[in-house]
Amino acid sequence: MRRRTYKLLALVFTVATLLLVVAYTQLPLQYIDNLPDYVEISWGDIDSLDAKNLTFEVDIAQPTSIDGDAQGYINVKAFRFFPLKKVKVKVESNRKVYSGGQPIGLMLNSNGVMIVGSGNIQTIQGVKGSVDLKKGDIIKKINSTHILKPKDIADFFKKHDGKPIELTIDRNGKSLTFKTQPLYDEINKEYKLGVWIKDSITGLGTVSYVRLDGRFGALGHPVVDSDTNLMFPIYSGQVYDAKVVGVEKGQSGKAGALKGTFNSYDKCIGSVHDNNKYGIFGKLDIYSQDKMLPIGSRLSVKPGKAKIISTVNSKCEEYDIEIIKTHSQKKKSDKSMVIKVTDARLLETTGGIVQGMSGSPILQDGKVVGAITHVFVNDPTRGYGIYLDWMIDN
């Protein structure tokens, strides 16, 4: 009798263990692992939280009001019973932005001057190459003279007496200081470093959002210098009104592009203060205020129908897309979701996603949830998007 009881208990334990194993394998483990410890959401996000076999129970620590902010917790449970994680939340009633989609012209000024190439100098000893500088280096100082533009270097060497100089540069994010001997150009009769340099770049981008105070985010990825393939370090920048004048249609194996131009270099409409992995950030003095939408938290974004706002001709319009896949991310990334263009009008005009559309805001359930960042070169109808949370954090 006792042996039979032991066998029955063993059987029950085995079945229970198998059920737990099966249940555990049905949980989105990566999603759970990447849930943040703290997140800011809007009231509308609460009803959008969704993940396979998970329940999100919202426990607000103070009386809720649709017109006010609140703090509390989201208790994440498996199968409505097993507690997995408690996420601290701040619920904001006014977590809104003006949606973007408009093209802007950008003029970015470097923090120092960037080395983009090297050349030969005719010295008294013969032809010599550049001094100890590499492509991508940023000259910050010569001796005690701060360098912000090429003219600063030219002005320094007009007074130079041929002695060794001390260079302070930024190389791969690290500050280096070393002495070197400038080269005397026998043809132009002046001292030189023997390098090609630049202090600014220009280009077009798409606005992702504008906050109530005019702060904006654009592109969703960094501006990269075409000569060095490195992120362009900025000291300052200006924003100008721009327009799209043509489209190079994308096709498999070759990314397309929007062709645009600045409307005027005389009228600056804003400033840029940062160029980083997640986009261009600054402040606009003049911007459209016709469409304000709530921000959708990254926890609320899910596969399904969505829209983008973009300008691919003369008008800023909404286009249909589908969010194919979302990534649960605890750390910032510019590849948060995979999207697919489904709008026949956009496919006819551009073939899908093209260069210049980066930054186009992604809308889902009436909220701004992200922005386009990349196109799949082998399939221009698909690409990546970044969660707006990651851009707003900047």
- Which amino acid, residue 392? I
| Residue 315 neighbours by CB distance under 10 Å | 8
Q: d(Cα 310, Cα 240) in Å, to the nearest integer?
A: 17
pLDDT in tens, 166-191: 999 988 888 999 888 888 888 888 88
pLDDT above 60: residue 230? yes
DSSP letter at 148 equals: -
Backbone phi, psi, residue 265, to 5°: -90, -5
Pair of tokens at residue 138? 């940023």
- Give start and end residues of each alpha helix (H) in the chain: 2-25, 29-33, 43-46, 150-158, 344-350, 388-392
Say how far residue 339 (Cα) sits from the centre of its chain: 16
Residue 128: the pLDDT is: 63
Positions marked active-site: 221, 343, 358
Contact by Cβ (8 Å): 87, 76 = yes
- How much is the CA Rg of the chain, to the nearest whole Å? 27
Residues 6+ positions from 158 with CB-CB distance below 8 Å: 190
Instruction: Kindly tell me if the per-residue pLDDT of 3 is higher than 50.
Output: yes
Task: Return the percentage of the chain with pLDDT > 70, whole number.
Answer: 78
pLDDT at 23: 44
Structural element, H or E, at residue 201: strand 195-210
pLDDT band per the 50, 70, 90 thresholds, residue 81: low
Residue 255 has pLDDT above 90, yes or no: no
State residue 155's pLDDT score: 87
**Residue 32 in contact with residue 84, Cβ under 8 Å?**
yes
- The pLDDT of residue 63 is 46
Q: What is the pTM of this model?
A: 0.80
Region 228-235: mean pLDDT is 85
Which pLDDT band holds residue 12 (cuts at 50, 70, 90)?
Answer: low
Q: Residue range 226-235: average pLDDT?
A: 85
pLDDT of residue 84: 66
* Cα distances (Å, whole numbers) of residue 313 to 43, 321, 356: 35, 18, 12
Q: Please state, in angstroms and as integers, the Cα–Cα distance from residue 346 to each residue in 319, 320, 371, 381, following that order.
A: 7, 9, 17, 10
Q: What is the average pLDDT value for the chain, to the nearest integer?
A: 82
